[in-house]
Amino acid sequence: MVDPNAIMEEAARLAEAARELDDAAAALISRTWNEEQSLRQRALALESDLRRLQSSVDSAAKKKGAVDSKISEKVGGSVDEELYRVRCVINDGDVASLLPSKAHGKF
């Protein structure tokens, strides 16, 4: 015969396990969401810093007489390469999934 008390105890145990699992899942989702928001803010700040630095580099390139042109070209080339790498990481890497998508215009 089936013991009704055993069935009740098993049902109570399963209900408690379900509540604990639900609490753990909610905590994980909350932590993940908070970490994602932190990464989004860092990604947005990096993108902003990149735009600011690119603007400064472009502005400095227009003022050619300020520094010896060979040094300027060498440094400018290195800076352009580094900024290109940063753009690739931001646009093509996992960071891109953290940034809002941008419309690229009409076809």
pTM of the predicted protein model: 0.69
Domain layout of the chain by residue ranges: 4-98
- Residue 40: per-residue pLDDT: 95
Give exposure, 53-89, as e/b (b: 16+ Cβ within 10 Å).
eeeeeeeeeeeeeeeeeeebeeeeeebeeeeeebeee
The rounded distance, in Å, linking the Cα atoms of 87 and 25 is: 35
- Residue 106: per-residue pLDDT: 56
Q: Where do we find the tokens 């990464």?
A: 39
Reply yes or no on whether the pLDDT at 69 is more than 80: no
**Lowest-pLDDT range of 23-27, 35-39, 57-61, 102-106:** 102-106
Residue 61 phi, psi dihedral angles, 5° rounding: -65, -30
